Chain A
């Protein structure tokens, strides 16, 4: 029998409200053995973060632990007082968070931050601390000179290594990693995961790895737990989870792991005319490096592509690749610094008059990433749908009553088209009364009501749970075919891009590195980066190379 380093027994966490409470985590039981990697998987809102914050007792109000035990080395953490808790935190259990930039203080040098951590928990002379800093930097393979740098001078991957070094500073027995690689691109993700595994074999600690990426965690965890709506619905060894687990939900998650074999094989008609043509697009932001100088940072650096009529083009790139900037340029939300934007062969680069802009927006619509943020929380669905109708149809001749009737009829028709039923009921709902998938359907309906020729979809599925993604992708696909519009599908997820699109464009650091028909891209990627993107859809991809 192995030694349990952490043993959670029937943990219950409530969020108190004025009169009652919401049971956010229910009867959560699991344990982590010494030297084990435990993966905790769940969609957003499933209670993963609540559990890890409860382990460290850092869950803010109105969170309250109401039942259960959390045993660390056989001592119940829930009975610790403040001083015992502060000696537990970091010396025994440390945390690596998702956004390295948020965990580091921008005003302190890397060295000072590591020493701060050590001196908060141990009595150690600065001279000795510096020596340990050097050793830590060697451990995470960062040049010692960077100890005197500030966080912003390091790249994303290096920052995350520094955060890992700080987590290791006091040699804890258990490290909790909360989506440590989600904000990084696949190349860096691979490096970091390999580094973590290497450190673990050198130093011997247990790892609680939290992620929503089942594919990633199955590649290296010993055991995996699956959370759904505050409950641990499945827990087993990684092999058993991989083969479908013990629960219908696990099976659903496993099936929703992106699968490139299911790509869009339909060929586009070569004779379709060009709709949007972008020539050598440049957009730069100035970045202040000191008070006296600023250098230009090219978010989009000479990008040229076209989207034809009746075609879905997937624009694939990771955070920072410039894909959102392109979407905002195409919808005229921001200006660009160089290049040309042609629509139906007409140069629309410099249009500024509100009449021209309105005419352009009649043809080009957009769906945003976060359906909660793109709907105004104080307005009903009816308001969101009625505005585009009233703006773009010439209903002014009609009386108010007739106009209202027409708006109502069109709203109900469009709700039927995006499969929201019964439509009459949805009409008067507020955004917070709907699920993420329903909200995104409303956002799609709003865009469709304008009757555009092209829809720019900026990561329309990335904020949705995996199980709902497919439904939205299928809806987009069927509506595109029915209405004969074009879609520029912008995403970081190459698998959904392959599923939906006819053609792919791969973007990295503001430049196009690869493009082509989907089948060609999958079987024969020309660029090293796009090959890695394609490979990352396979399980254990970061090791088998």
Chain B
């Protein structure tokens, strides 16, 4: 049996690990379009961008790990088409690979700025190692950085750039930061944290163009209000688009992501998909959605491997995620969509609190700032469908682990 994995990120690496751990002794090939071993992306907007983590520590595993697992690594190569009837993928160098099972771990790419950009050399994405290499030279104290997008990537980059002494402005089109992914309470907390350190947070700010040159700056971001900003560099973080076009061209079900079932299987039973490129069942929340996270990449890598090996399906966690900004460690478990009320546990002013989202008495999500016990409890309570008393949650005199143990025992 030959398993071909298309893509060279975390989902790909996990699929390899789980296949070999599960006893797969067939042939394994990874085709990755980046010229490097699979690496960790989260540090790109955190420790690596800050210069605290050397590049040699970014790879998820060293090269011998792949050799020992007998993986043929085709790096810097791209799959251009899938021929399902011949069970073969076409490579960009004219070659082809026959497969018995195919795993699409093609990831996602930055959403391009939907405005005219006259100075592309000063405008950077933040997705790949190559992106960060490009921007790092420009991250010098005193320079003016305009970040387009007040989501996690933009805010993490803002924290790093501020720490490096840049003059940072964040433009967010919505009326609040993290509008798509967090509660208004959390949005306001992060607005305050950035503002009080001197990062300019501009919500309701619609970018209409990035012009070349300007008053003392290298580029001029222009807003819908007509206001013109001076910047030395611009960083975009306005979301990602799943790399699902090739799957669609091959006739697989694609709907804002490659549609997969709980086993990470696509509409073709011989083809699996894992990670940011997928649209998957949200087992503990209902419906389907895209999850852009390490947790999802790892979990679907395991699910695909188990399905390929015809082994029992591994446990499915609730979605979880983290973001580091300054000395604030944010951890999120679950999905807040569909919740009807929120309870605050702890003191936002003290920088240590958690927001609990409920649908009735069922916990749906927790956003925890410097509050690991609340995050860990949520990771257990949400998949268990546990019920929690909102009043009890707000009472910090009761330890979170005691609350959680009682709720789990009753579930």
Decide whether A and B assemble into one complex: no
Task: List chain B positions with a Cβ less than 8 A from chain A.
Answer: none
Interface residues of A (CB under 8 A from B): none
